[in-house]
Amino acid sequence: MKFLPKFVHRLASPPHFYRLAERWTPWLGLVAIVLILAGAYGGLVIAPVDYQMGDGFRIIYVHVPSAWLSLLVYMVMASAAAVGLIWRIKLAHAVAASCAPVGAWFTFLALATGAIWGKPMWGAWWVWDARLTSELVLLFLYLGYIALHGAIDERTRADRAAGLLAVVGVVNVPIIHYSVEWWTTLHQPASITKMGSPSIRDPAMLIPLLIMSIGFMVYFAAVLAIRVRGEVLEREWHKRWVSEILGDT
């Protein structure tokens, strides 16, 4: 670990991370609220009606950010788990464990809003579409991580076993992303992140979606900071610095 920058070493220190997260969490929460409210107002009020889907398209302002975050959170979880497995950094395992429930909820929200949109558009709540099926597998990976971590009493073994599952499950992420290109599916291809100009060209539609997506990301950062703080306290309860912090509060 000698090659790691000094600030990374410091950030990996549970006491330093705890105090840093405590300082930044309120600001992250405030920014998330402002962005989400602004994105929701722009998407639900300012954005014009879609000429094909009508007002039904507005669910994308929740569905798309949730789907993006379901993948982003998994990548953060798997990356943290890999760091914990390779360099044995306890804080990394705490981050991975804190990501799992948040990612599971984002994935569930993406599936639920997709089903609500799919019923009037496709005529069915659920179809075994490649994108939908691989997203469902992602939810099972999150739940599998949570169940495996909770089933093993010894925390170190639980971190390693669940972390290995998280790392192996990364293979599902590119499958979700490229499923609409590899197979014939009902799900539309990428319309915002594709090369060139996005399919949504009306700024009144696109900008609120980008704002909402950033708001979801900041919200995830705020929730993750809160959850990691709790995880750190649970793991470090016997340390002197925890007694000092709890004594101050």
Q: Is 244 exposed, middle or buried (0-12, 13-18, 19+ CB in 10 A)?
A: exposed
- Cβ atoms of 58 and 212 within 8 Å: the answer is no
Cβ proximity of 100 and 129 under 8 Å:
no
Average pLDDT over residues 2-30: 82
pLDDT for residue 3 is more than 50: no
| Mean pLDDT of the 162-173 span | 98
95 pLDDT more than 90 = yes
Alpha carbon distance 221, 166 (integer Å) = 19
Q: What is the DSSP string of the chain?
A: -TTS-HHHHHHTSHHHHHHHHHHHHHHHHHHHHHHHHHHHHIIIIISPPBTTTBGGGGGHHHHHHHHHHHHHHHHHHHHHHHHHHHH--HHHHHHHHHHHHHHHHHHHHHHHHHHHHHHHHHSSS----HHHHHHHHHHHHHHHHHHHHHH-SSHHHHHHHHHHHHHHGGGHHHHHHHHHHHS--SS---SSSSSSS-S---HHHHHHHHHHHHHHHHHHHHHHHHHHHHHHHHHSTTSHHHHHHHHH-
**Distances from the Cα of 211 to the Cαs of 102, 112, 200, in angstroms?**
20, 21, 14
- Average pLDDT of the residues in 230-249: 85
Considering the chain, what is the average pLDDT of its residues? 90
Q: What is the dihedral of CA 159, 165, 169, 170, to 10 degrees?
A: 40
Question: What is the average pLDDT across 62-83?
Answer: 97
- Residues 48, 70, 42: CA angle, nearest 5 degrees: 20
Q: Is the separation of the CB atoms in 94 and 232 below 8 Å?
A: yes
Percent of the chain with pLDDT over 90: 70
Domain positions in the chain: 24-44+58-191+200-242
Mean pLDDT within 107-136: 92
Mean pLDDT of the 46-57 span: 89
CA-to-CA distance for 165 and 65, rounded, in angstroms? 25
CB 202 within 8 A of CB 57: no
The pLDDT-based confidence of 38 (bands split at 50, 70, 90) is very high
